[in-house]
Homo-oligomer: A and B are copies of this chain.
Amino acid sequence: MFSKFFNLEKEKQDRIINAAIKEFAQKGYDNASTNEIVKEAGISKGLLFHYFKNKKQLFFFLFDYCYNVVADEFYKKVDLTERDFFKRIRQAVQIKVELQTKYPDILTFIQEAFMQDSAEIKVEFDKKKQELTAVNINIIYEGIDLSKFRDDVDVQKVLKIISWTFEKMSDEELLKAKMLPNHKIDYDKVFLEAEEYFEIFIKGFYNDGGK
């Protein structure tokens, strides 16, 4: 599909991808300007539309590209033999932080993309989001040792509570960072806070309060 694009010299590919990521991440889908992208990438207007038939296609290409980069690396690093749910989540958080440091633009782009709500891409993108979420949840839960959870509660719901908590915590941290002038996340503090939530969950939802 994008073989034309991938036949380009690597350096130009990168210029285009980086320019587009930057623009979409900063301004969101609707307000991202193809003009800015070509200017930043140093290519002509026509060329962009030679490789991508329209803005929407460019966005979806970009999303898939970015998603693959981080997902590949994520699944390479995560240890799926770890059967304890909290250790698994802890890993996930850790890897996410590493990726954030290694590919800051890409992660910002993905995060912003997930919050995108433009009418033009809504239907297609919501579908994609749901699929990805479903896949990830399956993987995250795969092989988890559920026997550690108390058996008088619905484990599925407990897992949801836990996942949601970490999502919300992450959102809040992101939001706080955005508000501040220097936009810096203190990852050590985040980890510490996460640990406290872990303990609470273990106390509340593991057999014998995790003892």
Contacts and interface: CB of A to CB of B under 8 A. Distances in A.
A165 B161 contact: yes
Interface stretch (A13-21, A56-64, A78-86, A198-206): A198-206
A168 B152 CA distance: 23
Contacts of A73: none
From DSSP, what is the main secondary structure of chain A's interface residues?
Answer: helix
Interface string A22-37: 0000111011000000
A45 to B, nearest CB: 10
B168 A27 contact: no
Contacts of A152: 203
Contact of A157 (B160, B164, B196): B196
A152 B208 CA distance: 14
Contacts of A175: 126
24 contacts: A26-B119, A27-B119, A30-B30, A31-B118, A115-B115, A115-B117, A126-B178, A130-B179, A150-B203, A152-B203, A153-B199, A153-B200, A157-B196, A157-B197, A158-B200, A161-B161, A161-B165, A161-B200, A164-B164, A164-B168, A165-B165, A167-B168, A168-B168, A204-B204
